[in-house]
Amino acid sequence: MATLSVHTSPLDQPGAGDAGGMNVYIVEVSRRLAARGIAVDVFTRATSSDLPPVVEMSPGVTVRHVSAGPFEGLGKEELPAQLCAFTAAVLREEAQHEPGYYDVVHSHYWLSGQVGYLARDRWSVPLVHTAHTLAKVKNEALAAGDRPEPRARVIGEEQVVGEADRLIANTDEEARQLVRLYGADPARTLVVPPGVDLDRFTPGSRGAARRTVGVPDDAVVLLFVGRIQPLKAPDVLLGTAARMVADDPALRARLQVHVVGAPSGTGLDAPRQLEQLAATLGIAELVRFHPPQPPDRLADFYRAADVTVVPSHNESFGLVALESQACGTPVVAAAVGGLPTAVRDGVSGVLVDGHDAADYAAAVRAVLARRELLAAGARRHAARFSWDRTADALVEAYVAAAGEMAAAPPRPARERRGGALRALPGTSVAR
């Protein structure tokens, strides 16, 4: 199958630039599809001349770097002008093989969807699309100082929604948004929740984790993980910490706020803004900034924390919340988007309406008062989600969409239909 990820590579480190939950999603799903015998080619834009054209990410998963526009210095908002070049490279790759080489196209984010629906028509195979974020939803919940998504993206998303054979939503709420805001066909809109690596993100010794990341045993630790941009609202966490020490001055001696991530998106307009805010709030000595971390190291940060705070203005799901809970660390999160699915209010953490620091401070105190109970609930809740379940549901969607296309009247383009998913040598795909 062909997986399209135009603007960010699954090989990129999540937490900086445009790399985030979508990167994790593509990596984890691709590996599990390959384990089920489905060969996966991931097409992504090359961002350096040093990148090899082809990289085997893992057995059965190949990342193909496509030259489309300058390697560096090209923002996501400039990529629509490069979609023609990207699409041409994808079509050329398929043309080197016998017809029917790719049986399904799975596009991620609207830019990839634009490429995907052209490939769908050229190859006569189904297009499965995951939006990950939606412009109309983001524009309804803009953070202060953030820029609205452009009209061109809205139009592009509408086109992809109209063309896709299956739309994959992370949650019931996202499925409703696709139908309400984009006129998606409910019969073609499926809810397939993302998962979490329950072997990597697992409870462990908090003391050992704190020694690893350099946190005192008696510290009260609040954690933020993600790209530093207005959408993710890390400023709310700093305001929360300031409010907590204002309410309880003795807490200042023990409170630590750890921010794991790097500026991204509109956050690049003022990359030191969060540090300046900490100084303005009088808590600069309480805040520790860390670059994006590899998964195993990130798990130590989750285990070391008392509470992970996810105050985003919008999240299609919220993988950070799920990873934290899998490590046994409860979450305080905004009650927006997919977070009410990722966090079970009162069981694995606390959901907060709005973005008032006083409300978050109260929620954090409530979690600290019941931390052991919520930690157990967090792990139980996270165990309901796994990438294996996600992959199984996607395979069902691929097979159903391919079956529908095979039964449909022939198209005038290339006279072939999507059929069984291409298997790795020596394997087969269950139907």
pLDDT digits (tens, 9 = 90+) for 98-143: 988 999 999 999 999 999 999 999 999 999 999 999 999 999 887 7
Statement to judge: residues 368 and 223 lie in one domain: yes
Q: In this structure, is residue 425 part of a structural domain?
A: no
1 is in an annotated binding site: no
Residue 75 has pLDDT above 90, yes or no: no
Statement to judge: residues 128 and 251 lie in one domain: no
Give yes or no for a contact between 338 and 173, defined as CB atoms under 8 angstroms apart.
yes
Q: Which of 12-16, 246-250, 288-292, 295-299 has the least mean pLDDT? A: 12-16
CA distance 239 to 283: 9
Residue 68 phi/psi, 5° resolution? -150, 95
18 is in an annotated binding site: yes
Statement to judge: residues 181 and 256 lie in one domain: no
Mean pLDDT for the stretch of residues 58-73: 89
Statement to judge: residues 70 and 55 lie in one domain: yes
Q: What is the domain-level CATH number for residue 268?
A: 3.40.50.2000
- Vertex 395: Cα angle to 402 and 159 (nearest 5): 60
Statement to judge: residues 174 and 210 lie in one domain: no
13 is in an annotated binding site: yes
Closest CA to 296 of 185, 213, 180: 213
pLDDT in tens, 301-355: 999 999 999 999 999 899 999 999 999 999 999 999 999 999 999 999 999 999 9
- Bridge-partner residues for 108, per DSSP? 130
Task: Give the C-alpha distances (Å, rounded to integers) separating 9 from 3, 38, 83, 320.
Answer: 11, 20, 16, 19
329 is in an annotated binding site: yes
SS3 assignment, position 284: helix
CA distance 166 to 131: 11
- Bridge-partner residues for 58, per DSSP? 61
CA distance 226 to 336: 16
294 is in an annotated binding site: no
Q: In this structure, is residue 417 part of a structural domain?
A: no
Residue 408 phi/psi, 5° resolution? -80, 160
136 is in an annotated binding site: no
Q: In this structure, is residue 419 part of a structural domain?
A: no
Q: Which of 10-14, 61-65, 264-268 has the least mean pLDDT? A: 264-268
Edge-to-edge strand list for the sheet holding 349-352: 287-290, 255-260, 220-225, 307-310, 331-334, 349-352
Statement to judge: residues 31 and 164 lie in one domain: yes
Q: In this structure, is residue 37 part of a structural domain?
A: yes
DSSP label of 322: H
CA distance 123 to 107: 15
Give CA torsion, residues 171, 331, 135, 46, to 10 deg: -100
Residue 186 phi/psi, 5° resolution? -55, -30
Q: In this structure, is residue 414 part of a structural domain?
A: no
23 is in an annotated binding site: yes
Statement to judge: residues 169 and 252 lie in one domain: no
Statement to judge: residues 245 and 140 lie in one domain: no
CA distance 52 to 64: 8
Radius of gyration for the chain, computed over Cα atoms and rounded to the nearest angstrom:
22
Task: Give the C-alpha distances (Å, rounded to integers) separating 341 from 74, 173, 192, 305.
Answer: 35, 9, 12, 22
Mean pLDDT for the stretch of residues 247-263: 96
Burial of residue 168, with CB atoms counted within 10 A of its CB: 0-12 exposed, 13-18 middle, 19 or more buried: buried
133 is in an annotated binding site: yes
Q: Which residues make Cβ contacts (< 8 Å) with residue 84, sequence separation at least 6?
A: none
182 is in an annotated binding site: no
Q: How many domains does the chain have?
A: 2
Identify the domain containing residue 48 by its residue range.
2-195+388-407
Q: For the chain, give me the number of helices (H) and strands (E)?
A: 15, 14
252 is in an annotated binding site: no
The length of the chain, given as a count of residues:
431
Q: In the chain, what is the straight-line distance between the N-terminal and C-terminal CA atoms, in Å?
A: 16
CA distance 40 to 4: 10
pLDDT band at 13 (very low <50, low <70, confident <90, very high): confident
Statement to judge: residues 280 and 394 lie in one domain: no
82 is in an annotated binding site: no
CA distance 28 to 60: 13
Can you read off the two tokens belonging to residue 79?
A: 């990529």
278 is in an annotated binding site: no
Residue 419 has pLDDT above 80, yes or no: no
Burial of residue 217, with CB atoms counted within 10 A of its CB: 0-12 exposed, 13-18 middle, 19 or more buried: exposed
Q: In this structure, is residue 402 part of a structural domain?
A: yes
Global confidence as pTM: 0.89
Statement to judge: residues 13 and 136 lie in one domain: yes
398 is in an annotated binding site: no
pLDDT for res 129: 98
pLDDT in tens, 346-394: 999 999 999 999 999 999 999 999 999 999 999 999 999 999 999 999 9
Residue 117 phi/psi, 5° resolution? -80, -20
Statement to judge: residues 155 and 288 lie in one domain: no
Statement to judge: residues 119 and 264 lie in one domain: no
- CA atoms 266, 268, 274, 280: torsion sign: negative
21 is in an annotated binding site: yes
Q: In this structure, is residue 296 part of a structural domain?
A: yes
Q: In this structure, is residue 431 part of a structural domain?
A: no
SS3 assignment, position 38: strand
22 is in an annotated binding site: yes
CA distance 97 to 94: 6
Burial of residue 199, with CB atoms counted within 10 A of its CB: 0-12 exposed, 13-18 middle, 19 or more buried: exposed
Compare 410 and 253 and report the one with higher pLDDT. Answer: 253
Closest CA to 397 of 427, 428, 418: 418
305 is in an annotated binding site: yes
290 is in an annotated binding site: no
Give yes or no for a contact between 317 and 342, defined as CB atoms under 8 angstroms apart.
yes
State percent of the chain over pLDDT 90: 78
pLDDT band at 422 (very low <50, low <70, confident <90, very high): low
pLDDT for res 263: 83
